[in-house]
Amino acid sequence: MAEGKTLLIASQGLDKLRQWLGEIQTGEIIAMQSATEARRIIAGDAYAMVIINAPLIDETGLELAIDLAKRTTATVLMLVKTELAPMIADASMEAGVLLVTKPVIPQLFEQTIRVGMACRNRMLLYKTENEKLQNKYEELKIIDRAKCLLIEHMHITEEEAHRVLEKEAMNTRMPRVRVAKSVLERFEL
């Protein structure tokens, strides 16, 4: 089901969790025992999922889970004792960390992983769309700056500046943003 690498952080129960994960997903599973070790190897979006079996040998695991949920696109799932779940539910939910209470019911574990991966896939779609919009916004800023320079140096209206950019783009068969960049190079110091 789930693709991509999974980071499994647990000071106990590694074998059982590895077994359950092996039945659910096809990606590589990397296991370690401490938050310190995990922080050392985690970079960017290298992992599709991070599963933390709390507590860890060097911390509770909540700090690590929140940190990873905020700075990566990985699904972050934390296994905690039933009596601790209500105490950390608000903080984990706010950060986007999924909680599974112990003792773990395998079917619930699998279902939570599936929900987490579906949410991650949706988030990745939004991230891609956001990047496209950011790029478009940057292009529009460049085009607007070029229009301003054309207006200033050629003493023309905004409509005329727009037409100049459009015509040059058509004549040179270049994107409008590339034409705008050449205008910026020509007029800016």
Q: Both 152 and 79 in a single domain?
A: no
pLDDT value of position 44: 66
Six-digit token string for 1? 């089901």
Of 89, 104, 119, the residue at which a domain comes to its end is: 104
Q: What is the mean pLDDT of residues 23-45?
A: 85
Paired residues of 79 in beta bridges: 53, 100
Each residue of 143-180: pLDDT tens digit? Answer: 999 999 999 999 999 999 999 999 999 999 999 999 99
Q: Domain for residue 154, yes or no?
A: yes
Six-digit token string for 153? 């140096």
pLDDT at 138 over 80: yes
Q: Domain for residue 157, yes or no?
A: yes
Q: Both 154 and 90 in a single domain?
A: no
Q: Both 83 and 144 in a single domain?
A: no
Each residue of 74-130: pLDDT tens digit? Answer: 999 999 999 999 999 999 999 999 999 999 999 999 999 999 999 999 999 999 999
Q: pTM of this prediction?
A: 0.75
pLDDT at 189 over 60: no
Paired residues of 31 in beta bridges: 8
pLDDT value of position 84: 94
Q: Which of 76, 92, 104 is nearest to 7 (CA)?
A: 76
Structural domains in the chain (count)? 2
Q: Both 32 and 96 in a single domain?
A: yes
